[in-house]
Structure 1
Amino acid sequence: MRAIKGLWSWRHNPLCRRTDLVESWVALAALLLIVLLAPVLGVLAGFTVQEALDRSVREQHSSRLQVTATVVRELDRGVLDIDPEAAAQDTRSRVLADWTAPDGSEHRGPVLARLTSPQAGDRFTIWTDASGRTVARPLDPATATTHAVLAGFGAALAVAGLVEGSRRLIVRRLVTLRHARWDRAWDRAGPDWGRTGTGS
């Protein structure tokens, strides 16, 4: 409040240039936009993303089903598993497995199983579509909410960055105008400014 009161009283200061006043109003407008508009747009973006992700969660949970698979044999790690540290941290094994799809069809294929040392006959669960093709695990509501919150924060930060970037561009333009006015004032004063009548 003191800043607004100071800005209001500064309008009549004889040392205040028009560009100073414009810069102050731009700073105040940018502050209000960052404090008020950025959070509102962030919340709106978060709710919009949350609705879309909730719809996706419902669709995925209705179309993806968990079935039990049986290990036929363990497969060698793929050629792309070059990083030994990543391979050591990964607790999944690549196996050849059999499973029955929800529509009753029988399937066999390579899948990743959360088994440390898989043996033939071990059972584990996988996610499939209605026809038995393996699919990724469906998105859970907690992860969807986390993504929505991050999207809201990202939108708020993007708006704040856009407002601040615009303010800086305007201030840069005002500084350029000030320098141009100073150059014109120095040109009018001439090279003898301050030495008039000294006899030099």
Structure 2
Amino acid sequence: MRAIRGLWRWRRNPLCRATDLAEAWVALAGLLLILSVAPLLGVLAGGAAQDTLQRSVREQHESRHRVTATVVRPLERSTLSVDPEGAGESLRSRVLADWTGPDGSRHEGSVTVGIDGPDPGDRFGLWTDERGRAVARPLDGATAATHAVLAGIGAAVAAAALVEAGRRIAVWRMVRGRYARWEREWERAGPDWGRTGTGS
């Protein structure tokens, strides 16, 4: 908005320098780019992330299977381990468990479960791959959509920051050029500036 006011203010002002007008145009161009290009890049990046993540969700749900495992014996307790998918279930206890894979094969291994004080014989859900090996919970569609939205917002903010940085660099260079011209003018005026009889 300041850019538009600046252009309007300088449009017929006899004190308007070319650099003042150039700064106002640079500011207006930066504003228009931020308002048009940044959201467009955000939408494109978010859409691309959404497609990729939803494809990953489908692949994970096709290749991972939930089976029922049985606690053989507790191993250790960890209060710092949390489910990376954020499904609300804290993973607190490490147990030796056995389970049957989707292909019918029997497995036994150490896994982390969300059971307080597990006892031998306790049953819990476990995600496995096609061969019955324990794997992480598959990504769900809502989490993937959230990640895609965040990616789009991040891309838009990065684009806006890049445009603003370019605008600031352009204005900084214009101001430095203006100061250099003023310096040359002062040098041309010489050390006699303001003295009586020097014609100034």
Q: Structure 1-normalised TM-score?
A: 0.89
In structure 2, C-alpha distance between the alignment counterparts of 1:25 and 1:3, rounded to whole Å: 7
What does the per-residue CA deviation read over 1:117-175, in whole Å, with 9 as the maximum and x for residues that have no partner? 10000000110001011111000001001000000000000000000000111111111
Q: 1:81-100 maps to which residues of 2 (within 5 A)?
A: 86=80, 91-100=91-100
Aligned to 2:153: 153
For residues 120 and 5 of structure 1, do their structure 2 counterparts lie closer, same or farther at Cα, with a shift above 3 Å needed?
A: closer
- 1:17 shift after superposition: 1.6
C-alpha distance in 2 between matches for 1:138 and 1:2: 49
- Call closer, same or farther: CA 1:73–1:2 in 2, change over 3 Å: closer
In structure 1, the partner of 2:138 is 138
- Measure how far apart 1:22 and its partner are: 1.1
CA distance in 2, matches of 1:166, 1:10: 23
Q: Secondary structure at the match of 1:119?
A: coil
Identity over aligned pairs, percent: 67
What is the CA-CA distance between 1:16 and the residue it aligns to?
1.6
Residue matched to 1:68: 68
Q: CA deviation at 1:8?
A: 4.7
1:34-54 alpha-carbon deviations (Å, 9 max, x no partner)? 111111110111111001000
Unaligned runs of 5+ in 2: 82-89
- After TM superposition, which residue ranges in structure 1, 4 or more long, deviate above 4 angstroms? none
Deviation, structure 1 residue 76: 2.3
SS at match of 2:182: helix
- If the length of structure 2 is used for normalisation, what is the TM-score? 0.89
The 3 A distance-change label for structure 1 pair 91 and 62 is closer
1:102 aligned partner, one-letter code: P
Counterpart position of 2:175: 175
Give the CA deviation at 1:9: 5.8
Contact 1:91–1:116, Cα closer than 8 Å, also in 2: no
Distance in 1 between residues matched to 2:15 and 2:9, nearest whole Å? 12
Partner of residue 54, structure 1? 54
Q: Match of 2:71, SS?
A: strand
Q: CA deviation at 1:55?
A: 0.3
Structure 1 unaligned residues grouped into runs of 5+: none
- Alpha-carbon RMSD across the aligned residues, in angstroms, is 2.3
Choose 40-49 or 101-110, whichever is displaced more. 40-49
Q: Partners in 2 of 1:49 and 1:31 — Cα distance? A: 26
**1:52 partner SS:** helix
